[in-house]
Amino acid sequence: MKRLLFIFLLIMSSSVYAVDFRQLSDPEQQETYETLTKELRCLVCQNQTIADSNAELAADLRRQVYEMLQQGKSKQEIIQFMTDRYGDFVLYKPPFKGKTSVLWIAPVVFLLMGLITVFFFIRRKKAAANQQTKAGALETDIEKQKKIRSLLGKGDPS
């Protein structure tokens, strides 16, 4: 029981987020704040969002988002503010444009390539298997008869 509790606590402990004390009075703005901090990358610790990170820069960027929302800035304006300064890299969801098109298209292309390969692979296997069963049918029958006979103790007829 103790061990189970320990494991449970261990699992729960992994979901610890940066302490964020900011609260906006307007629930709609609060929601925007929460989504924005989850969509903006912390540039020091590159694989964390600014909501996740305790880095100083992440804290400063959270403050920036908070203040801009308080000033009544829209989500789009804040994203523009961030990309003007840090480039598209600051966004976890990069916009679709010339430079990032490969990023968006590549997974689809790879998936299609995979599906096509699997399709042809299966078709070829099936065709090969069909042919083999036709050619091998006679042979296996003879083999089987032999086995039946030997099992029945009648010996080999040949």
Partner 1 sequence: MLKFIIPLILFIILAVFLALGLNLKPSEIPSPFINKPAPVFSAPKLNEPEEKLTPADLKGKVWLFNVWASWCVSCRAEHPVLNQLAQQNAVFIVGLNYKDEPNDAKNWLDMLGNPYNVSIMDQDGRIGIDYGVYGVPETFVIDKKGLIRHKHTGPVTAEDVQQTFLPLIARLQAEP
Choose, by CB under 8 A, the member of 18, 24, 57, 91 that binds partner 1. 57
CB 88 within 8 A of CB 39: no
Nearer to partner 1, 60 or 77 (CB): 60
Q: If binding means CB under 8 A, how many residues of this protein chain bind partner 1?
A: 14
Choose, by CB under 8 A, the member of 30, 86, 91, 94 that binds partner 1. 86
CA 82/CA 9 separation, integer angstroms = 37
3-class SS of residue 40: strand
CB of 114 to partner 1, least distance (A): 13
CB of 55 to partner 1, least distance (A): 9
- Give the torsion sign (CA, 51, 54, 60, 63): positive
Q: Does residue 64 bind partner 1 (CB under 8 A)? A: yes
User: Which residue stretch of 6-14, 19-27, 55-63, 142-150 sits at the interface with partner 1 (rule: CB under 8 A)?
Assistant: 55-63
Gap between the terminal Cα atoms of the chain: 70
- For the beta carbon of residue 83, count every other beta carbon within 10 angstroms: 16
CA 16/CA 52 separation, integer angstroms = 8
Nearer to partner 1, 89 or 104 (CB): 89
Question: Which of these, 31, 32, 122, lies nearest to 76 by C-alpha position?
Answer: 32
Q: Mask: binding to partner 1, 14-53, rule CB under 8 A, as x and -?
A: -----------------------------xx-x-------
104-143: contacts with partner 1 (CB under 8 A): none
| Residue 22 CA, distance from chain mean position | 30
Which residues are at the interface with partner 1 (CB under 8 A)?
Answer: 43-44, 46, 56-57, 60-61, 64, 83-87, 89
